[in-house]
Structures are given as C-alpha cells and as structure tokens.
Chain A
Amino acid sequence: MSNLLRQIYYVAWGDMMFMRHNFLNILIMSIMSPILYLIAFGFGLRTGTTDIGVSYVSFVIPGIVALSSLNSSFSSTSTRMNVQRLYYRSFDEMMMCPLSLHAIVWGKCMLGLVRGLIACFILYALGLGLGAGGIGGMELELTPMFVVCTVLSCIVFSFLGMAAALLAKSHQSMATFNSLIILPMTFLCGTFFSVSALHPVFQTILYCLPLTYSSELIRSAALPDFLEFDWLCLLGLILWGVAFYTIDYWLLKTRKV
C-alpha cells in the first residue's frame, strides 16, 4: 500500500510542479467561470425562496460547486494529459516506466482533484461569506459530508477527464467532447434548478449523467437542515467513479492510448 501511495505521489509530482509554475493563472482560470455563474444565476436572478424552503442563492451555490468540480477537475486532467500524450509525448515516457497502472490513474488525477478542490472551496467560501452578509441567507453549512462529497465529485470528474484524454485522437476531439458532453451537463444536471421539477422522461435522461448525482449530493450535504442526505446519489456517484476508473485502467492496460 505504501509503495502504491509513493508511486501515486511520484506520478503526480510533475503535475504539481506544473501547477506551482502557473499557480496564479490556474487559480484565476479555476474560479472565473463559477464566479460568473454565481453572479449571473445566483445573485443576478435571486428569485426568492425555492420549494425546499431555502433562498435560491443557497440552492444554487451547491449546484455551482458541483459544476466547478466538473469544470476544474475535468479540464485540468484532460487538458494536461492530452498535451502530454499527443504533443509532448511525455506520457509515453511514464508508460515505459515500471509503475503500477493504478498509480498512474490516481497520480494523473491528482492535478484535477487539487484544482477542483481549490475552485470549489473558494466558491463555497465566497458563497458562505456573502450569505453571512445577508445576501444568500444563512442556510448553507460546511459539513464533513460536504467536504467528502466535493472530494468525491472532483475525483470522479478527474477520472472522466482522464478517460476523455486517453480516448482523444486530437485536440479537436477534446473540444468536441467538451461541446457535446460537458457543456450540456453544465446547464442541465440540477445545477441551477431542481431535476425533480422536470418531466419524468427528462429526469430519467439526466439521471444517466454523473453531474446530476454530484449536484444533488453536494446540495443535500450543504443544506442539512432542509434536505436529507442523499445516500442514493452518493452510491450513484461512487458507481460513476468506479466506471470511469475502470475505463481509464482498461485503456492503459490494453494500450489503446
């Protein structure tokens, strides 16, 4: 086990150095779009109280946290891996080294995890701070389950980013993946509205997407006084994580990269 953890650290080290060199740039990129969403959909709309009894700002902030975990974790992992694999070829170098494939999957997802967490917690702190100032109300809480769920969400979307990067044949195909999969998820998966308000057919479709589980889960963890913790969504998100991890591992194992 300690050997695996050491290998994960070694795989992630280069990405952490990359992050150190570009910290300010990465930080700004990570929080820019969630803050815009927060301003536009949260404070801009401010449409009173939702059907669960909380203000819309308090309702939407956990959704934007889930969205940030998707955006930051997915794009950090996929962009860096895509560049390393297709342009620098440095990913090949790693594949030729005596590393466990499990360590490669976990290690390459660390950048996405760290960046995702930075974005999510800055956003949440902002939401809590503004809420404490009376704009969003006092409903949101920083619970241990919120932390666990946010970490899990970042990990799941890092795994997804890795799968996308491993399957991509070019930079263009990454852009296509973003447009066809990530962008629709951003707006539809319960980030800005409750999925339960939709027609059952749409609900079924949206529950086939991982961000729905993430936003419902993070919302239930952030609003413990208003929602019961959603164990089913936790299970669903874990299953998505297992599925993406399996795909990553299989792609590496069969060298379909």
Chain B
Amino acid sequence: MGDIIVIEDLVKMFDGKTAVDHLDLRIREGELFGFLGPNGAGKTTTVRCVATLTNFDSGTITVDGYNLRRNPVEAKSRMGVIQQQVSLDKDLTIRENMISHAMYHMMGKAERDARIRELSDLFGLEEYLDKPVDSLSGGWKKRAAIVCAMLHSPRVLFLDEPTSGLDINARRLLWDVVRKLHADGTTIVLTTHYIEEAEALCDRVGIIDHGRIIALDTPQRLCEGVGSVAVEYLEGGKTQYRYFGTREDANAFASTIDTGVDVTIRKTNLEDVFVELTGKSVGGGK
C-alpha cells in the first residue's frame, strides 16, 4: 500500500516559538499510526495543520494525493477528525449534529439517512439519536463524534487524544471502536500520551518531542531498539532503569545489584523508549 499522508518539512511557529520543527512523516494507507509525546510536543498542532484548522508556515502536506494548500476541498473530503474536546453542537440533538455533518460533506438526504442509520446501529447510538448532546456521558459523546466524523466515509481518520478524560470502561469501548474501523481499512492517526493506548492499538508509532519526530517504528521494534528487557531498581532513593537485549543479560545484571534492593525485571514499554530518547516522562516531567 502507498502513503496516504505525506508531510514534508512542516514548520509551524506560534509567536516566534517553533511548535512543529521541520517535521517529515509518511503514513501508509490502512495503517493505524500513533503520535506519542508529552503535552506541548507538537502532536495536536501537527494534526491541526493536516486537518486545515491551523495554517502552517512552511512545508507541504499531501492527503490521498491532494496538496493541502492547492486542493484543500478535495483533501478535506477525504479526512475525518475527532478533536480532543468533543466538538458537537450542544444546542442540537445527536441526530441533528449528524445531519449537519453529513450536509457539510454535501451528502443527499437518502444517503445521509442511510449512513446515520448504519453507523448509529454499529456504535449502539440509536436510542440516543433524538436526545440533546449534554444528556450523554463522555464516552457516548465521543462515539457520537466518531459517527459524525465517519459519515462521509473518510479515507483517513484523525483521533486527537480520543480517550482523554474518559473512564476505563469508556476507554476500552473506544479502543474496540478504533480496532473495528481499522479492520474495515480506514487509515487512522491517533495522537495520545497514554502509552498503553499506543501499544495496544498502533501498527507504528512516531515519538514526537519539541516538534520533531525523534523515533518512528513499530512499538515492538522501538522497544527492541532500547533493549527489550528492562531492569528497574532503586538506587540512592531514585528509581534506575537499565535495558538489555535478552532476559539472560538482564538477570545477570540484576544479580550484581546489592541484596535487599527491590529489583523488577520486565518487558520494555514505550514509556521506557520515550524516557531513554528524551530524558522526560510522557506526561512531560523530567
């Protein structure tokens, strides 16, 4: 499969501060791609540039072969975006929000009614359709937002921190939804600062820091790059981490640590990768 999103040398500045710094990225068709990084790393800004919500200073973005600057309408028609904050119109019902979205994509009445029925059924939203937005819980609002973004059958779906602020059950439900969409062949770009979310869902992960991609690969390969086995122990009142290629090497190292010190040997995760690469936790702290 080819690349459905091509970002080349993207730069976005805010008041003289570089939010996205000469970023290059290619996302393959049908891929579930994860953008991982701390708050303020440039994930959302990059997505907002691609979604045409923010102008960028330089670089090129192509979506499904359409240059965003030259053919914005064609590019937009191929994208669906679910923003971090649920962005439904709270003065309307769920159905009216869906109809509005379908209309914005120039869908005729018969087509949009059929599609609303189909997706509401798929996401279990039928009984909520004629209710006001605020009568739904956060998880159901997110589902409604996903349906709105999916109505026009976009080829690429952007999910910006989709599970932020959701409880565990709602988060799991949303993961199922994302997996379902991915299985149906939709290209999904997921931005998150939840490590387990990226590990559970993504085919490939790009770690972004200070507006630059600092690592890009499958979660497994990224972990292997650091060392697939982690040794975690306390030294001088501070937790230390060491990474090894094999469990034998990790065991050998652990045996050299003073007895009485708690030692944990476990698989390396993306948070370890992130800390190794940036010196920061994914939440942003040192």
**Interface positions of A (Cβ within 8 A of B):** 6-7, 10-11, 13-14, 17-18, 21-22, 83-84, 88-90, 92-100, 254-255
Contacts and interface: CB of A to CB of B under 8 A. Distances in A.
Contacts of B96: 14, 17
Nearest to B74: A98
B99 A96 contact: no
Given A89-B85, A98-B74, A18 B91 contact: yes
Contact of A13 (B52, B74, B77, B103): B103
A95 B53 contact: yes
Contacts of A254: 55
Contacts of A10: 100, 103-104, 106
A14 B53 contact: no
Contacts of B99: 13
B89 A14 contact: yes
Interface of B: 51-55, 72-74, 76-77, 79, 81, 83, 85-92, 96-97, 99-101, 103-106, 148
Contacts of B87: 88-90, 92-93
B58 to A, nearest CB: 15
Given A90-B89, A92-B83, A255-B55, A13 B100 contact: yes
B60 to A, nearest CB: 17
Nearest to B91: A18
Contacts of A95: 52-53
Contact of B54 (A6, A14, A17, A255): A255
Contacts of A99: 73, 104
Nearest to A17: B96
A97 B104 contact: yes
A14 B92 contact: yes
Contact of A98 (B88, B90, B106): B106
A88 B76 contact: no
Nearest to A80: B91
Contacts of B104: 10-11, 93-94, 97-99
A24 to B, nearest CB: 15
Contacts of B148: 93
A62 B148 CA distance: 45
B135 to A, nearest CB: 14
A98 B53 contact: no
Nearest to B85: A89
Given A14-B100, A21-B91, A255-B53, A96 B79 contact: yes
Contacts of B103: 10, 13
Nearest to B103: A10
Contacts of B54: 255
B47 to A, nearest CB: 11
Contacts of B72: 98
A100 B52 CA distance: 13
B101 A97 contact: yes
Contacts of A13: 99-100, 103
A78 B211 CA distance: 35
A62 B52 CA distance: 44
B81 A96 contact: yes
B106 A96 contact: no
Contacts of B92: 14, 17-18, 21
Q: Which of A13, A94, A96 has the most CB of B within 10 A?
A: A96
Contact of A92 (B53, B77, B90): B53
Contacts of B73: 98-100
5 contacts: A11-B104, A88-B91, A92-B53, A93-B87, A95-B53
Given A13-B99, A13-B100, A98 B91 contact: no
